[in-house]
Amino acid sequence: MCDTCGCGDTATIGTLTGGTVETVAVEERLLAKNDDLAAHVRASLDERGIVALNLMSSPGAGKTSLLERTIAELDASVCVIEGDQETSYDADRIRAAGARAVQVNTGAGCHLDARMVHDALHELDPLPGSLLVVENVGNLVCPALFDVGEHAKVVVISVTEGDDKPLKYPHMFAAADLVVVNKTDLLPYVDLDLDRLSAQARAVRPGVEVLPLSVRTGEGMDRWYEWIAATGSAYGGEVRDARVDTVRA
């Protein structure tokens, strides 16, 4: 028994007498299985020219709204894997917006892992050349740790959440390939300092692009579509933003 609270933490193992203890060296990363499966997912997406984004944020930052507008405006096939603890609300919204979606309910789980995404992909069967978005469980902590086979991680934060979040949740922002700051239409009503938010994000992820936009008004959405097209090209995907092509031509 532990002397402090009697919890049993320091209990000795009485059964050790009368036996021999052998130490077996194992040396295996705990996430090895997840990461192997994520690599398999990424390779199978690469074969079909599909680019995958892992979209993460706290609940209510506007991930699903961003996708609804993207599906409506982006001239590309978009497929979505939705992660939530319960309900199919988000997958219903994505389907209503005109895209294919599979809902994953994690129950008590706080994040999506490679196994869930792998299994969901069998059901979703995204078209070659499409954009696949994995909308993770709303949570600024756990999803950062799990590779789900994406090509890039996008963290969405809304202006009402405050400019101190990157240093408060450094693992999430350190993993970000893009930080989207949503709801800029509300900036006149809140105290968020965009420069401070950007500086904090770059303190944990040097050089990361911080992209302010408003899904509601459309401000900044053009840059979002440019980023998607550039990311698609960078990873050999065939996702094109037809509007950007038109402007260049």
Partner 1 sequence: MHELSLTESLVDVVEERLAGDLAGRTVVTVHLRVGREAGVMADAMAFCWDVVTAATPLAGSRLEIEETAGDELALASVELLKEESGV
Question: Which residues pair with residue 210 across a beta bridge?
Answer: 179
Residue 232's identity, in one-letter code, is G
Sequence-distant (≥ 6) Cβ neighbours of residue 157 within 8 angstroms: 57, 58, 61, 165, 179, 180, 181, 182, 197
Question: Running DSSP on this structure, what letter comes out for residue 65?
Answer: H
When asked if residue 3 is in the footprint of partner 1 (CB under 8 A), the reply is no
With beta carbons less than 8 A apart as the criterion, state whether 167 and 131 touch: no
Give me the least distance between CB of 200 and partner 1, in Å please.
18
Q: Which is nearer to partner 1, 7 or 249 (CB)?
A: 7
Residue from 4, 20, 188, 246 that binds partner 1 (CB under 8 A)?
20
Residue from 3, 27, 86, 195 that binds partner 1 (CB under 8 A)?
27
When asked if residue 21 is in the footprint of partner 1 (CB under 8 A), the reply is yes
Closest Cα to residue 188, out of 219, 164, 160, 217?
160
Terminal-to-terminal C-alpha distance of the chain: 76
When asked if residue 26 is in the footprint of partner 1 (CB under 8 A), the reply is yes
Residue from 6, 18, 107, 188 that binds partner 1 (CB under 8 A)?
18
When asked if residue 110 is in the footprint of partner 1 (CB under 8 A), the reply is yes
Q: Which two tokens stand for residue 134?
A: 């994995």
Q: Tell which phi-psi region holds residue 98, choosing left (phi > 0), alpha (psi between -120 and 50) or beta.
A: left
When asked if residue 13 is in the footprint of partner 1 (CB under 8 A), the reply is yes
Window of 14-22, 149-157, 209-217, 241-249 that interacts with partner 1 by CB under 8 A: 14-22
When asked if residue 33 is in the footprint of partner 1 (CB under 8 A), the reply is yes
Q: Which is nearer to partner 1, 25 or 249 (CB)?
A: 25
Residue 42's identity, in one-letter code, is R
> Where do contacts with partner 1 occur on this chain (CB under 8 A)?
13, 15-16, 18-34, 108-111, 113, 141-142, 144-146, 171
